[in-house]
Amino acid sequence: MQFIVSVKELNPPVIAPERVEKLGDDYEIWTYDDRELPPLSVGVYSYAAIPKCLAPLSTQALEKSGVFRLQREFVPGLYGAGVYVAVIDTGVNYAQEAFLTESGRTKIAVMWDQSDDRIYYEDEINAALSTDDPYARVPGDDNGHGTFVAGVICGNVSAANDFSGVAPEARLIVIKLRPAEQTLKDFFFVPDDAAVFSEADIMRAAAFADRYARLEQSPAVLCVALGCNNGSHTGAEDLCEYLDSITTATGRAVVVGAGNEANNRHHYRGVSVDTSDSVEINVEQDMDGFYVECWALSPDLFTLSVISPSGQSNPAGIPLRTDSGQYSFLLEGTRVTIDYRQTGRKTRDQLIFIRFEKVVRGVWTIRLFPIGTIDGVFHLWLPMSGLLESDVTFIVPNPDTTMTMPSDARRIITCGGYNSLNDAIFLQSGRGFNADGAIKPDFVSPAVDISGVDLRGNYISVTGTSGAAAITAGTAALLMEWMVVRGNAALANGVDIKNSLIRNCRRKAENDYPNKISGYGFLNGFANF
């Protein structure tokens, strides 16, 4: 089991050095054998230390976003030459024509397969391509999500299929994430067949991509088309802060999709200053369990009780101290664990983590009681779609503040999604602002019927902010080529690229900007020149 450790909070080390992996100056990953540890619990471990489970966010678009004009009208055309793009995902089926040069060689510079901790370099991948079964020698993609994202970013031009990647001359850094450990999936009640990845492994993947590009002395864009509903949605999570630190380095940019949670009824926002507020959750069918995260920004404090469908309730906890309690609802046979924590190195926001085990169908109620509140605002989030065995939703949800973590990070480039055919917002696209009012998303990119390649090399269309993230990452690679590779702004970083993209967004006269749905507007890559 891996844990995320902030060096800033670290006491003298309590683990053997060979079990510690350093990620820059601020973070370490500590690895333990599960047999050495008590069961996972927010009450035993710090909330930040437990890695969260992140899941994939599932030619008209390139025309509307200005990419084709960058390729064809800019002289000489921008295609991503000299730039690395890191796809941190499920891997890439690299033998498809979309990822081969004209001479049949791979466009992948390096690939790290985390499952067996093997690094494959360009020569090894080319050697595998010369065999009848290349994936027997160098692993590909078993899921398809990473292949699709990589194809949108830098797939080759295919006139017969009316397809082009955004930055077809960019080189790929591929990190094939290993599936999250079963201990972690069990704690968060993730179904066995769900593709989820540990927050710690994503941080390790980002560090690997950054190091490799640094050794090659080349600019790089990191694309993370993954997310989850955990955290305070203020950009304060470890993964958010780590990605922010990378994107501020010269020649680096990080792009993350806003997720597809706006219409999934997984967020509740309440305001309670001097009276209680009852939040109803509908559980569609009996299930092993689920969890809810309740967050209040410092200095507000709340306490709560849970009311079962039969009317049983537990006593409210004590939020002024670190408190943990387990309660059994006898008529339902359900056990509820409630943990109170002050978390966040900078803000000490309040987290109440509520974990339901052996849940029966029906309406469960969480009753919030304010204690010493100022503005009285609180948020509750349920897990992201696909990460529970059955539907669990708020009866009165709020579609705002539904961007998935780590898209709420402050400095990275965060893109929502829209339909490039009619300029309509993709209804499921994660919406802002952050819980503390920070402006996110930065803008929206095409996300509906995005063309890409599947595991067999077929050209397909997919809808979701994964496509928006891929288009934006490719566009960032084109700007990186113009700024850094061609020397027009040699010291540019991801913040510079983000500001340039924001400044030149296409905007509608009838809308106010920035807004919670489309941020500063619609991606318009060509306007940057």
Q: Where are the domains of the chain?
A: 60-262+404-528, 267-394
Give the contacts of 448 (CB within 8 A, at least 6 positions apart).
417, 418, 419, 420, 421, 426, 463
Question: Measured between alpha carbons, how far is 175 from 225 in angstroms, rounded to an integer?
Answer: 13
Q: How many CB atoms lie within 10 A of CB 124?
A: 16
The pLDDT of residue 237 is above 90: yes
Give the contacts of 104 (CB within 8 A, at least 6 positions apart).
129
CATH topology of domain 60-262+404-528: Rossmann fold (3.40.50)
Question: Measured between alpha carbons, how far is 23 from 205 in angstroms, rounded to an integer?
Answer: 10
**Residue range 290-297: average pLDDT?**
96
**Residue range 304-325: average pLDDT?**
79
- In three-state secondary structure terms, 99 is helix
The tens digit of pLDDT for each residue in 499-527 reads 999 999 999 999 999 999 999 999 987 66
Q: What are the φ/ψ torsions at residue 118 (nearest 5 degrees)? A: -115, 140
Q: What is the pLDDT of residue 215?
A: 97
Q: Is beta strand 84-89 parallel, antiparallel or unpaired with respect to 27-31?
A: unpaired
Q: Side chain identity at 282, as an amino acid letter?
A: N
Closest CA to 524 of 61, 59, 66: 66
Q: What is the pLDDT of residue 306?
A: 95
Q: What is the pLDDT of residue 47?
A: 87
The pLDDT of residue 164 is above 90: no
Q: What is the pLDDT of residue 61?
A: 47
- In three-state secondary structure terms, 146 is helix
Rounded to an integer, what is the distance from CA 449 to the centroid of its chain?
21
Question: Measured between alpha carbons, how far is 430 from 180 in angstroms, rounded to an integer?
Answer: 24
Give, in order, the Cα–Cα distances in Å from 458 to each of 107, 146, 151, 158: 18, 14, 11, 11
Provide the total of helices (H) and of strands (E) in the chain, helices listed first.
9, 26
- Single pTM value for the model: 0.93
The tens digit of pLDDT for each residue in 48-92 reads 888 999 998 864 444 444 454 555 555 578 899 999 999 999 999
Joined together, the tokens standing for residue 159 give: 């006139």
Confidence of residue 5 (pLDDT cuts 50, 70, 90): confident
Q: Are 380 and 233 in contact (CB under 8 A)?
A: no
Q: Which residue has the higher pLDDT, 512 or 26?
A: 512
CATH topology of domain 267-394: Jelly Rolls (2.60.120)
Q: Which residue has the higher pLDDT, 459 or 59?
A: 459
**Residue range 292-321: average pLDDT?**
86
Joined together, the tokens standing for residue 175 give: 């990190």
DSSP state of 510: T
The pLDDT of residue 115 is above 60: yes
Q: How many CB atoms lie within 10 A of CB 194?
A: 18
